[in-house]
Structure 1
Amino acid sequence: MHGIRPAFALDPRQFGRRLVAHDAPTAPEAMLSEDFKLFAATFSAGFLFVSILVA
């Protein structure tokens, strides 16, 4: 017995199957220096915020 489903619903037999893009662009790898700059900026902003909050 089949349940009633809306006309715009996807076919349940296709669940879990998708098209594979073989030529998908890859993201550039982040450099360690960029990660360190982000960490330093976040740490200094947090330190400044807490210093002002405590004072």
Structure 2
Amino acid sequence: MAQNIDVFDFELTDDQMSAVAALDTGTTLFFDHRDPEMVVWLGKRRLEG
């Protein structure tokens, strides 16, 4: 637990922050959740269980 609490004991460099920011391309590889047709389709899906 002590190690988990100490999770913020580091700093990222400017280069590391730039690398992280470059990961967000603003697109998805799976589906566009802003597409109304896709939202309707997803809304109709049900998990079996």
Normalization by structure 2: what TM-score?
A: 0.33
TM-score (norm 1): 0.30
- Bigger radius of gyration: 1
- Greater RCO, 1 or 2 (C-alpha within 8 Å, sep 6+): 2
